[in-house]
Amino acid sequence: MELRSVEELMDLLYACRGSWDGPGLRSRRVDLHQHALQTAALLRRRRPADKELQVAGLVHAIGPLLRPGDETAHPGCAADAVRGLLGERVARLIREHHRREPPADEDLLRLRQADEEGRSVGLDAGVLEDWRTVLELVAARNSRLEAVD
Ligand SMILES: [Fe+2]
């Protein structure tokens, strides 16, 4: 499934409310929606200028909604869904953030770290609406790049 607009992506991120990565993972305490917001907020704090990295943190969590049950497929599904909209770099970060085989660059390590830390109950990570303009910015930049190619 490929997402065609920021609106579709926002809908999917809203649908992460009340969803967990897997049946045994309710012990992780926060749902995928909160996990997405926290991962993105941690990256925004650490890399304020890198909107693509922040957006990768936000969007990496949609995999379980696209392919329920098949955990190993989640990063690839999420990456494929957003590649056309948000670009190759965002897709690559999402696809590889769970893989241990490829050499991890600093961006991947930051994403992994935020992914692990972004599951705490008390962390105020704001609301999804805060990210709409950031998503639109990254999508617009990507569509301009595609037009040049
Ligand atoms: Fe995650």
User: What spacing in Å lies between the alpha carbon of 149 and ligand 1's midpoint?
Assistant: 32
The whole-number pLDDT of residue 72 equals 87
Higher pLDDT, 71 or 45: 45
Q: Which two tokens stand for residue 57?
A: 């943190």
Render the burial of 59-76: b for 16+ CB within 10 Å, e for the rest: bbbbbbbbbeeeeeebbb
| Pair 39, 58: CB distance under 8 Å | yes
If you average pLDDT over residues 70-83, what whole number do you get? 93
* Predicted confidence (pLDDT) at residue 27 exceeds the cutoff of 70: no
Tell me, in angstroms, the distance from the centre of ligand 1 to residue 60's CA: 6
Mean pLDDT of all residues in 26-53: 92
Mean pLDDT score across all residues of the chain: 92
Which domains are delineated in the chain? 6-148 (1.10.3210.10)
For the CA atoms of 112, 70, 22, 42, the dihedral, rounded to the nearest 10 degrees, stands at: 20
Look at the pTM and tell me if it is higher than 0.75: yes
pLDDT class for 69, splitting at 50, 70, 90? confident
Please tell me the distance between residue 45's alpha carbon and the centre of ligand 1 in angstroms: 17
Q: Which residues surround ligand 1, an ion (CB under 5 A)?
A: 115
DSSP state of 43: H
Q: In this predicted structure, what is the pLDDT of residue 146?
A: 83
Cβ(21)–Cβ(14) under 8 Å? no
**Does residue 22 surpass a pLDDT of 80?**
no
Task: Identify the band that residue 104 occupies on the pLDDT scale cut at 50, 70 and 90.
Answer: confident
Instruction: Give the C-alpha separation, 92 to 119, whole Å.
Output: 23
CA of 132 to the centre of ligand 1 (A): 20
The answer on pLDDT for 20 being more than 60 is yes
Asked whether the CA dihedral 19, 75, 123, 9 is positive or negative, the reply is: negative
Distance 61 CA to ligand 1 centre (A): 5
Closest CA to 117 of 55, 38, 47: 38
